[in-house]
Chains A and B, each alone.
Chain A
Amino acid sequence: MSKKHVSTTINGEPTEFLCEPQLTLLDVLRDELELTGSKEGCSSGDCGACSVVVDGRVVCSCLMLAVEAEGKTIETIEGMAKGDKLHPLQQKFLEYAALQCGFCTPGVLIAAKALLDRNPNPTEEETRYWLAGNLCRCTGYDKIIRAVLDTAADMRGERVAAG
């Protein structure tokens, strides 16, 4: 078994690992690096539970080989909070109870953060399309969308009437 040596940066930390070439980034994150926040839902790029950011783009880590991480900068859900301080999206998801079983939540948060990093003032429609690849079987999405839009308003420094 010829393993490949991969050097990458994960959540700001230089990280090295050895892996077999057929393993996905998700396999290595979870099983090798013990970063189990990224979830395995479908393994076919449909559910978004394994979403991570690679060089600034949200991707499904189940659709990327781990060896492709060579030289890349990767952000996972484990890097979203700074110490004990939750990211505003995480805080808002708690306040809004924008989760039930929580399995989709890491992927949703990663994708939502990428949206707000690009577009601090997305419309509801833009938000729904952006998150269309993050399936949630519990919430019906409404709380998720409201939490994202309200976080965006907070981060812009606006106050939104409760509704």
Chain B
Amino acid sequence: MEENTAAIIASGDLELYVSGSLDPQEALRIESLIENNPHIKAHIDLLESHLLEFSAQYKKTPVKSLKANIERQVKRIERLAKFSWASIVLAVVVFLMTSLYVFKETKRMRTQQSIVNDQIKELTTDFDQKLEDLRNQFIVLQSPQTEKKEHESQYNEVSFNFSSYLNKEKRLGFLQFDNLPKLPESMCFQIWVSRNGVKENIGILSKIDKQQLIQIPFKEKGTIHITIEEKPGNPNPDPKASIVNIPIG
């Protein structure tokens, strides 16, 4: 060990290390020796002291303004570094906020687009349905094969009138009410059709529109019924409670 230490000291590498003249790989080797060998560490300390003294013999006073110049330049560097960091942080924050805004806006617009698409679809379907209804009404009302009947019925001793239009050839049927007796708020007139024991709900009559024609499905033989039910209607109405019975088909 001592022999090895002496050889390392004699090699001149430590002087080169202290002077910073070794290549990085060699410098790492010496640093490892310094850490592990106290004799080498002591020798390096000695060399560093000598280097300081050796360098000190050449000391010379620089111009007085140099210190202020250096301090000014360092202050400028620090200001720039702080500004750079602030710029980076600001850029990141702006980017994140913009991304978040764009993300939220895209999501909102997609939702809105979906709603608008649904509305357009509903409107189209509704429009098609209304157009079909109008076409059917026109066919039924203009056709000589259509059988028109006037009906009169009573509820609580109040009579009410309505018309039925049935076209067996076209398998189309409509009801048109002139008036209806007044019901309590919680009750309603329900129209439904029974065919071979199967009940098909047509809907409830909330108010009377004389121009309105209520379309009745007319595929097979059956009976149109009107009952008085609690709002919003009865899924299984009783034919015996019917105040109107009109055979169709």
Question: Are A and B subunits of one complex?
Answer: no
